Amino acid sequence: MSDTAASASPAPVLTEAHRRRTFAVIAHPDAGKSTLTEALALHAHVINEAGAVHGKAGRKATVSDWMEMEKDRGISVASSALQFEYAPEGHSGAPYVINLVDTPGHADFSEDTYRVLTAVDAAVMLIDGAKGLEPQTLKLFRVCKARGLPIITVVNKWDRPGKEPLELVDEIVTEIGLQPTPLYWPVGEAGDFRGLAKLSDEGEPVEYIHFLRTAGGSSIAPEEHYSPDEALEREDGTWATAAEEAELLAADGAVHDRELFLDCTTSPLIFASAMLNFGVHQILDTLCALAPSPGPRASDPEVVEAASGASAGTVDKVRQVTDPFAGVVFKVQAGMDSHHRDKLAFMRIVSGRFERGMQVTHAQSGRSFSTKYALTVFGRDRSTVEDAYPGDIVGLVNAGSLAPGDTVYSGRRVQFPPMPQFAPEYFRTLRAKSLGKYKQFRKALDQLDSEGVVQILRNDARGDANPVMAAVGPMQFEVMQARMLTEYNVETVTEAVPYQVARRTDAASAPELGRQRGVEIFTRSDGELIALFGDRWKLAFVEKEHPDLTMDPLVAD
């Protein structure tokens, strides 16, 4: 497809881009991310009943948790993408298109979460009202800050006993330097969640939204709306306390400012209970009103110039949403449905209009391929997508050798910067329990390696049947084994190896490093030479004795 054809109608593309809101939900484990994801879909009327019902004993698996391991443990260990339309009450015109990416909360899957954060325009930071800020929340906030992602803060589980609301605000300011600006303030202390005080732009309470409970919180909670005077008469001291706290914050300057929000200096604040569906549509309304629509994305002009021979100044440094089609792959996933033995490459549309069947180019290899099989995904459910626009998430089926961080484009060449890899800290060997399953083992290993479930390291001494897995956290090994068994019917065995630290090396340094006691050299699937060291003291000793050898951290620049 030519440049002209690929970008012939910039006005419709811009209109469609303005409708999109693409965001991730980030939090510490068990803060309620998947429950909130279900609740948001429920309020958009794309499901009839929330998947999480009151009480752990009666808990159903949420739509976004599709792995058996996720259902069994009640946690998310893989990111999932959901797309649906939503129109706030009183909204005129076409509804908004919501692209919601639910992320794994467990620290062992930080790399998967980081990849997701490269594909969204904003984040919802979910905080447990009883626990406040937790280590994983802090880590993910720093990633959002580094990427310039605006953050909307939601204090969840307000129907349970917890901290004081002003205490939580102080904690956020103190711990991460982010100023919450309340849009909806809770009426009733934690554990006695009666409703929300809607605040004006100046932070003044202008309406009381009273929520009514439903059976198990499985349906949308009805609302009653009252004026401040009616709220004072109805709730007496509880409303007065909420109004006083909100006005106190407003007097201290904690009011919404769009520029400060987009600069990640402030964060709109909402209190909610995802389990009871209290405050959920207020979250959706806030995302539609305040979250940024898709915008331009920085490209990697040096790589493009080197590949195409173009002279300096002829290659775009920024891809505008109205430019010819381009997308970036942020996740590759197989085994989402046992009836479809295929691999899905999740791609964020960056620019232009994507049309199913269009011919696109894989920037990393220079190869062209057709996008005949393109899907939108809602949990495990999939449907064919005919076209998509900036901000949308599209699953490309069996799209060659696509890997996380790869660029696909039509028309003018573009390549986006690669995704950095996290340095692995855990290492174990992996082998098939039965030698008769070797072929299936190899196939499964190659597939899961390409998805980035773990990094696979090989050398001649160990052979292909006994590679070493390198991971950010030990739960990644459990996922690897569980998927080997459920998707490929291969039972596997893992064993510990005496290594704690990995470094990137080169062909010139590898022979000498391999002669060092407590050091072993491997080749990673992407061709990089990796040296594993017994511990940090061993690494420090070798660095001191052989300062001329290459031993670089595995995190990409």
pLDDT band for position 551 (cuts 50, 70, 90): very high
**Comparing 56-60, 364-368, 462-466, 467-471, which segment has the lowest mean pLDDT?**
56-60
pLDDT score of 105: 53
Q: How large is the average pLDDT for residues 457-472?
A: 92
- Check the annotation: does 102 bind a ligand: yes
Q: Which residue, 232, 263, 290, sits at the end of a domain? A: 290
| Whether the predicted pLDDT of 536 surpasses 90 | yes
Q: How large is the average pLDDT for residues 263-287?
A: 96
Q: How large is the average pLDDT for residues 378-391?
A: 82
Helices (H) and strands (E) in the chain, counts: 16, 29
| Whether the predicted pLDDT of 269 surpasses 60 | yes
pLDDT band for position 261 (cuts 50, 70, 90): very high
Please check whether residue 61 is in contact with residue 73, taking contact to mean a CB–CB distance below 8 angstroms.
no
**Comparing 10-14, 337-341, 382-386, which segment has the lowest mean pLDDT?**
337-341
The reply to whether 61 and 210 lie within a common domain is yes
pLDDT band for position 268 (cuts 50, 70, 90): very high
- Check the annotation: does 105 bind a ligand: yes
Question: Higher pLDDT residue, 52 or 516?
Answer: 516
The reply to whether 214 and 113 lie within a common domain is yes
pLDDT band for position 57 (cuts 50, 70, 90): very low
Residue 4 lies in a domain: no
Taking Cα atoms as reference points, which of 350, 292, 347 lies closest to residue 123? 292
Q: How large is the average pLDDT for residues 450-464?
A: 87
Distance separating alpha carbons of residues 115 and 121, to the nearest angstrom: 13
Identity of the amino acid at 277 = N
Residue 25 lies in a domain: yes
Question: Higher pLDDT residue, 65 or 443?
Answer: 443
Q: 434: phi > 0 → left, psi -120 to 50 → alpha, else beta; which?
A: beta
Residue 2 lies in a domain: no
| Whether the predicted pLDDT of 70 surpasses 50 | no
- Check the annotation: does 181 bind a ligand: no
**Comparing 305-309, 361-365, 368-372, 376-380, which segment has the lowest mean pLDDT?**
305-309
The reply to whether 224 and 342 lie within a common domain is no
Q: Which residue, 409, 435, 451, sits at the end of a domain? A: 409
Assign residue 303 the CATH number of its domain: 2.40.30.10
pTM over 0.85: no
The reply to whether 391 and 490 lie within a common domain is no
Assign residue 177 the CATH number of its domain: 3.40.50.300
| Whether the predicted pLDDT of 49 surpasses 70 | no
The reply to whether 388 and 432 lie within a common domain is no
The total number of structural domains in the chain stands at 3
Using DSSP bridges, classify how beta strands 519-524 and 426-432 pair: parallel, antiparallel or unpaired. unpaired
| Whether the predicted pLDDT of 247 surpasses 60 | yes
Q: Give the highest mean pLDDT range of 94-108, 246-260, 365-379, 413-427.
A: 246-260
**Comparing 142-156, 384-398, 474-488, which segment has the lowest mean pLDDT?**
474-488
The reply to whether 377 and 437 lie within a common domain is no
The reply to whether 18 and 120 lie within a common domain is yes
Alpha carbon separation from 180 to 21, 48, 125, 172 (Å, rounded): 21, 33, 11, 7
- Tens-digit pLDDT profile for residues 471-527: 888 888 888 898 889 888 999 999 999 999 999 999 999 999 999 999 999 999 889
Indicate the helix (H) or strand (E) that contains 334: strand 326-334
The reply to whether 188 and 240 lie within a common domain is yes
Distance separating alpha carbons of residues 242 and 246, to the nearest angstrom: 6
Residue 374 lies in a domain: yes
pLDDT score of 309: 54
- Check the annotation: does 103 bind a ligand: yes
Assign residue 482 the CATH number of its domain: 3.30.70.3280
Question: Higher pLDDT residue, 455 or 191?
Answer: 191
The reply to whether 284 and 433 lie within a common domain is no
Q: How large is the average pLDDT for residues 425-444?
A: 92
Taking Cα atoms as reference points, which of 286, 293, 301 lies closest to residue 322? 293
Q: How large is the average pLDDT for residues 313-327?
A: 83
The reply to whether 210 and 92 lie within a common domain is yes
**Comparing 62-66, 123-127, 233-237, which segment has the lowest mean pLDDT?**
62-66
Determine the 3-state secondary structure of 476 from DSSP.
helix
Q: Give the highest mean pLDDT range of 194-203, 418-427, 482-491.
A: 194-203
pLDDT score of 37: 87
The reply to whether 447 and 385 lie within a common domain is no
Q: 272: phi > 0 → left, psi -120 to 50 → alpha, else beta; which?
A: beta
Q: How large is the average pLDDT for residues 56-83?
A: 50
Residue 6 lies in a domain: no
Q: How large is the average pLDDT for residues 426-433?
A: 94
Residue 388 lies in a domain: yes
Q: Which residue, 290, 324, 341, sits at the end of a domain? A: 290
- Check the annotation: does 436 bind a ligand: no
Its domain, for residue 534, covers: 426-545
pLDDT band for position 110 (cuts 50, 70, 90): low
Determine the 3-state secondary structure of 493 from DSSP.
strand
Please check whether residue 365 is in contact with residue 413, taking contact to mean a CB–CB distance below 8 angstroms.
no
pLDDT score of 143: 80
| Whether the predicted pLDDT of 50 surpasses 60 | no
Distance separating alpha carbons of residues 450 and 247, to the nearest angstrom: 53
Taking Cα atoms as reference points, which of 185, 190, 197 lies closest to residue 163? 190
Residue 486 lies in a domain: yes
The reply to whether 272 and 314 lie within a common domain is no
Identity of the amino acid at 254 = A
Residue 457 lies in a domain: yes
| Whether the predicted pLDDT of 296 surpasses 80 | yes
